[in-house]
Structure 1
């Protein structure tokens, strides 16, 4: 099962999830000067990222919007990057945040668990309820796939809805209950079912509640680095069960030195981040 596999990698290597969420200003000058189109630059930079970080990261996350924004050439780059990750033997998380229902959800599942855009795990939005997530579950056993469902996100505006109280509990707490329920319905014997959750801790006050609610859910944790999530808060949630990976995107791929070999800097960043995040499992 995919979440058990991801957990094993996180324990053996580190909880670091490298986010390949590229922008034009992330690309090193050496690559910009060697490749004409942005899509080619993204592919080449991603190839270098994977090559130097594969021994320090448990998985990679690719945000589709970074590539959709560049049209067809961008989507070709997105497809190629996913293929490179999977060919390297790593787990590819497609950050697509889909949330439609019925036949449309089935088409999204097919589009992102098969073919040109195949990934191992997707991010999903459950605002429309179980109809928005259950169509993906057929791929869990058939193709060893999984999904991280948005529960508590790391953006400041998350409080607009996610923090609303319902019967003395926050909405995100109720969502976590449902994620646990859906996971057990699909895979009752799994220690960590293939329905996981996205939980950001940088705007979170209820760490004890989150830890209790997620002890049987595998987590994708955003917000470390550029968004200010603290390592001690992350550790307080996943230390006991070792049930999460921590995404770092801009903090890894952006703001490279203008001089020198960018590969050496990427290696150092990967080593440093992996060392920092291994603390979460001690």
Structure 2
């Protein structure tokens, strides 16, 4: 039977917990000593490598937000590629947070850009609000088994109310229509774990909806933002999981900048990141156990 990338992610969660380390690395996050003898982008790559080394065994996956690298121009994109290369060396599961959303030939080129070549990753994030034909060009890669997507469904930002919560003619919220269509499409690329390679981005800051969302999209694996800096708590996150699996929980600043909360530990930034990832993992595990 064909194996799917979602099975690998599911197994990583079983082994290492739900933490997704967000490498949304801004230059100002990097401790000053890393700039000694290095350019900005060299320091950025070195910072990322040390964070990866410190958290690889306690994180299910890593999410790299491309905007932080695009903002630095060509040298930033080289740092992005070098970060991806290092993650692959470590057999890490990589989510590229690119949020593309276009159709036809353009989407095919996005798929080629991020599922092949210099910027190849395991999963990418997509916006489905142009319709399901904006997702279809990625299907051939997913059908081969080794690629997946996380598609925006119910996001954690306040502006999500503007579109995602609008009622349709049949009484469903727009995000539910989107999620239902993605579930149907994803049935073609379901793994042995019971989840589809078409996952959903589901923010954990809408606690009142959590149980309903998890039940409605029972075969959808979630990428869960909103924990920590955006106000989501461990007990909120637990509602979006199935017995502690079925999703990964992203944390970027809280892990990358953990050293700033502890005076005098700048040179131990990677160890601080590890400690925060473990604290987060264990806190969510305890919340799941207390459900």
TM range (shorter): over 0.9
Contact 2:143 2:189 in 1 (8 A): no
Where do 1:14-163 residues align within 5 Å? 14-36=17-39, 38-142=40-144, 144-163=146-165
Partner Cα separation in structure 2 for residue 136 and residue 87 of structure 1:
25
Contact 1:67 1:75 in 2 (8 A): yes
Please state how far the C-alpha of 1:69 moved relative to its aligned partner: 0.5
Please state how far the C-alpha of 1:135 moved relative to its aligned partner: 0.6
SS at match of 2:276: helix
Partner Cα separation in structure 2 for residue 188 and residue 269 of structure 1:
31
Q: CA RMSD in A?
A: 1.7
Aligned counterpart in structure 1 of residue 16 of structure 2, from 13, 27, 44: 13
Is 1:220 matched up with 2:223?
Answer: yes
CA deviation string 1:196-218 (max 9, x = no partner)? 10000213532232021221110
After superposition, the Cα gap between the structure-2 partners of 1:189 and 1:90, relative to the gap in structure 1 and judged at 3 Å, is: closer
Corresponding residue for residue 199 of structure 1: 202
Please state how far the C-alpha of 1:142 moved relative to its aligned partner: 2.8
SS at match of 1:144: coil
Partner Cα separation in structure 2 for residue 172 and residue 157 of structure 1:
13
Aligned residue pairs total 281
Aligned counterpart in structure 2 of residue 266 of structure 1, from 240, 258, 273: 273
Where do 1:161-240 residues align within 5 Å? 161-166=163-168, 167-187=170-190, 191-240=194-243
Contact 1:242 1:281 in 2 (8 A): no
Which 10-residue stretch deviates more, 22-31 or 149-158?
A: 22-31
Partner Cα separation in structure 2 for residue 277 and residue 155 of structure 1:
22
Please state how far the C-alpha of 1:188 moved relative to its aligned partner: 8.7
Corresponding residue for residue 246 of structure 1: 249
Partner Cα separation in structure 2 for residue 279 and residue 79 of structure 1:
36
Unpaired runs of 5+ residues, structure 2, are: none
Contact 2:5 2:145 in 1 (8 A): no
Please state how far the C-alpha of 1:158 moved relative to its aligned partner: 0.8
Partner Cα separation in structure 1 for residue 271 and residue 191 of structure 2:
45
CA deviation string 1:126-153 (max 9, x = no partner)? 0111111111111123360000000011
Partner Cα separation in structure 2 for residue 119 and residue 281 of structure 1:
30
Which 10-residue stretch deviates more, 22-31 or 42-51?
A: 22-31
Contact 2:258 2:276 in 1 (8 A): no
Please, what TM-score do these two structures have when normalized by structure 1?
0.94
After superposition, the Cα gap between the structure-2 partners of 1:241 and 1:213, relative to the gap in structure 1 and judged at 3 Å, is: farther
Partner Cα separation in structure 1 for residue 107 and residue 280 of structure 2:
35
CA deviation string 1:6-53 (max 9, x = no partner)? 0111111110000000111211122133422x2111100000000000
SS at match of 2:240: helix
SS at match of 1:150: strand
Please, what TM-score do these two structures have when normalized by structure 2?
0.91
Unpaired runs of 5+ residues, structure 1, are: none
